[in-house]
A and B are shown apart, each in its own frame.
Chain A
Amino acid sequence: MTESTVPTALWNRGAPDIESAVYDCRQVFAEELAALARRDPRVVAVCNDSVGSSNLVAFRTEFPDRLINVGIAEQDLVGVAAGLANAGMIPFVSAAGPFLTGRALEQIKADCAYSGQKVVLCGQSPGMAYGELGPTHHSVEDLSWLRAIADLAVLVPTDREQTRAALRWAHATVGPAYLRIPRFKVPDVIPPGAPCEPGRALTLRQGDDVTVIAIGTLVSRALDAARTLAGEGISVRVLNTPFVDPLDDDAVLAAASETRAIVTAEEATLSGGLGAAVASLVGQHHPVPLRLLGVTGFAPTGSTGFLLEHFGLTADGICRAVRSVLSPAVRESQP
């Protein structure tokens, strides 16, 4: 999309105060799922012994017949959901991100996407939310795996507002979708009422020098970095793409032509996620200098906060990436 179609209110509103309270999104996931279930008798929750970790205890109390727990069996989990969808239910599958996507990858492909079954796959605690538990429990490959599957929407909500919007969109749409439900606490950064639609990015801050495209936990950090860089005279555009697939090609290509460079930031591996999607698009249509921030290799031991620092997935890391991506351009502009 072009800038002119973005509601100006979104970027004129100004950046939020990141010193304000932070929230994990699992509570709003549970609240919104229950709200959808109250309105629509087709909504069912399907989980794998994850009633507690998916925040579904209250859902089970309110809708005892509409909470299916298949036990520790992820292939069964996704297959059962596809069967429920076949019979006209709207299953919301909730399980830890790494196991939902990795163990049931073929079921996601064959039973949901290729079969055209409307299943909403909710990967809980994605990225490196289970920091110290190690790479077996990190869901950083999910975006790469699922982006490669046709006819499956891939969403990474950022905060409470976008999580709610993503669930509502997934409920209302026709086909299957994967939603990453953040556990790492972030402030409210998405303006109320902001659209959450396929192929539609949000310009959260206008800027002319560099565009930072950020998703999930990195959005508030990108806004923080943009404020810091503004003090250095660097004007940063902050673009949020709640849909990693389908991406907003127009907004990304507009950023490539209107700003001098692009930095992407995601709590995911660089092998196939947001950065790879942006690089592929820009490289084919409008090459500009790029810096991709994300996870490389298997993470060392450490908390989520430590690991985000380790991989440069912080406001400081984004600042460094912006300065470095600009430096050749800056040199060229000097006599």
Chain B
Amino acid sequence: MLTADAAVVDHYRDLRRTVRDGHPAHALQELRSMSTAVRLRIVNMIDQAQLGHIGGDLSVTDILVTLFGTVLDVDPDDPHAPGRDRLILSKGHCAAALYATLAHCGYFPVSELATFMAPLSPLNGHPDRRKVPGVETNTGPLGHGFPVAVGCALAATIRDETWRTVVVLGDGELQEGSNWEAAMTASHYGLTNLTAVVDRNRLQQGARTEETKALEPLAAKWKAFGWEVREADGHDHAALIDALKPASTGKPLVVLAYTVKGKGVSFMEDQAEWHHRVPDKRQVRAAIKELSR
């Protein structure tokens, strides 16, 4: 098991304190910097491993940075604290984005990211909770994270504890029926401590979601399943922070976060072919140049 990086953890705690006082401009700038750093890591990790899901990683980055950076009540020094908030990345193929975010929040040294998918690395191509602190459940096959998140939220309810569970779902993933089983259970049990965030980039592995198996009208579907629905720009940290404020309607909350697959690298943006394509050296240089601006 990897261990926390003390220097980064201190910085991370300062950031959270600042943002919780009403996300002032300099804190939002910190989050944007963290997102940029995470995106650069993602490109490097995928370049090094010659494997990965770069499009979805770049799409979900701002969501994960917002959650770990400010929203979640977690402690990288004590990643298994019983009363921690739980974050479950159901779209587990975007492990690179999760690992890079966890490292930038101090869960483990950033240097470890260089081992991504290398032989015997703890950083498997899909998250492994037994090896990586901050990973709550092993995902990868789609449609798994949401029911597990419902179980976490139920446990808090049974014990009358106040911590919160957040599950990040891919939009294509919503074609798996297990998600709708979980959505029904969550609203049936009135899990106000559960939040789902849909990374709504409108692309899945082979094509647009709406061409493959249409999800729209997505907000109406969630409403019909008994959820409070909010919509936000999934690349705007301030908008996400506001949208992720706990629901007050007695229902579980879903945030439809509108994102762009491949965000930040112009030639990858909104292109289905970049689902898990590996950039060549020239493209890596171009991506890094663009992301570093």
- A residues engaging B (CB < 8 A)? 44, 65-66, 68, 70-71, 73, 75-89, 91, 106-107, 110-111, 114-117
Which of A76, A114, A116 has the largest number of chain B CB atoms within 10 A?
A: A76
CB–CB B141/A106 < 8 A: yes
Residues of A within 8 A of B138 (CB): 110-111, 114-115
Interface of B is mostly: helix
CB–CB B136/A86 < 8 A: yes
CA A9 – CA B74 in complex, angstroms?
A: 54
Residues of B within 8 A of A75 (CB): 143, 147, 177-178, 181
CB–CB A79/B158 < 8 A: no
Offer 26 A-B interface pairs, CB within 8 angstroms, sorted by A. A65-B158, A71-B188, A73-B185, A75-B177, A76-B147, A76-B185, A79-B150, A79-B178, A80-B150, A82-B137, A83-B137, A83-B165, A84-B151, A84-B155, A86-B136, A86-B148, A86-B152, A86-B155, A87-B151, A87-B152, A87-B155, A88-B82, A110-B140, A115-B129, A115-B130, A117-B137
Smallest beta-carbon distance A65→chain B, Å: 6
Interface flags, B123-155, vs A, CB<8A=1, else 0: 000001110000011111101101111111111
CB–CB B151/A85 < 8 A: yes
Which of B146, B149, B151, B182 has the largest number of chain A CB atoms within 10 A?
A: B151
CB–CB A79/B139 < 8 A: no
Q: Does B286 contact A (CB under 8 A)?
A: no
Smallest beta-carbon distance B131→chain A, Å: 10
CA A104 – CA B218 in complex, angstroms?
A: 26
For B139, the closest partner residue in chain A by CB is A110
Residues of A within 8 A of B146 (CB): 79
Asked if A87 meets B86 with Cβ closer than 8 Å, knowing A78-B147, A110-B144, A116-B130, the reply is yes
CB–CB A115/B137 < 8 A: yes
Interface flags, B154-172, vs A, CB<8A=1, else 0: 1110110000010000000
CB–CB B148/A83 < 8 A: yes
> Beyond A80-B151, A87-B155: 10 further Cβ-contacts under 8 Å?
A70-B181, A75-B177, A79-B178, A83-B154, A86-B137, A86-B152, A106-B141, A111-B138, A111-B147, A114-B128
For B138, the closest partner residue in chain A by CB is A115
CB–CB A111/B155 < 8 A: no
Asked if A83 meets B149 with Cβ closer than 8 Å, knowing A110-B140, A115-B137, A115-B138, the reply is yes
CB–CB A82/B151 < 8 A: yes
Contact of A111 among B82, B148, B158, B189 (CB under 8 A): B148
CB–CB A44/B152 < 8 A: no
CB–CB B185/A71 < 8 A: yes
CB–CB A83/B153 < 8 A: yes
For B130, the closest partner residue in chain A by CB is A116
Asked if A86 meets B144 with Cβ closer than 8 Å, knowing A66-B158, A76-B181, the reply is no
CA A124 – CA B138 in complex, angstroms?
A: 27
CA A195 – CA B182 in complex, angstroms?
A: 39
CB–CB A80/B154 < 8 A: yes
Asked if A89 meets B155 with Cβ closer than 8 Å, knowing A73-B181, A79-B150, the reply is yes
Residues of B within 8 A of A88 (CB): 82, 155
CB–CB B182/A76 < 8 A: yes
Residues of B within 8 A of A76 (CB): 147, 150, 178, 181-182, 185
CB–CB B86/A86 < 8 A: yes
Smallest beta-carbon distance A212→chain B, Å: 39
Rank and list the top 5 A-B pairs by shortest CB-CB distance, nearest first. Answer: A83-B151, A79-B147, A87-B155, A76-B181, A73-B181
CA A80 – CA B157 in complex, angstroms?
A: 13
Smallest beta-carbon distance B129→chain A, Å: 5
Q: Does B247 contact A (CB under 8 A)?
A: no
CA A83 – CA B82 in complex, angstroms?
A: 13
CA A294 – CA B177 in complex, angstroms?
A: 35
Q: Does B291 contact A (CB under 8 A)?
A: no
CA A89 – CA B151 in complex, angstroms?
A: 10
CA A82 – CA B129 in complex, angstroms?
A: 12
Residues of B within 8 A of A68 (CB): 154, 189
Q: Does B184 contact A (CB under 8 A)?
A: yes
CA A111 – CA B167 in complex, angstroms?
A: 15
Smallest beta-carbon distance A95→chain B, Å: 14
Contact of B158 among A44, A86, A106, A116 (CB under 8 A): A44
Chain B residues numbered 164-201 whose CB sits less than 8 Å from any CB in chain A: 165, 177-178, 181-182, 184-185, 188-189
CA A68 – CA B185 in complex, angstroms?
A: 10
CB–CB A107/B152 < 8 A: no
CB–CB A83/B147 < 8 A: yes
Smallest beta-carbon distance B194→chain A, Å: 10
CA A110 – CA B129 in complex, angstroms?
A: 11
Which of B130, B148, B165, B188 has the largest number of chain A CB atoms within 10 A?
A: B148
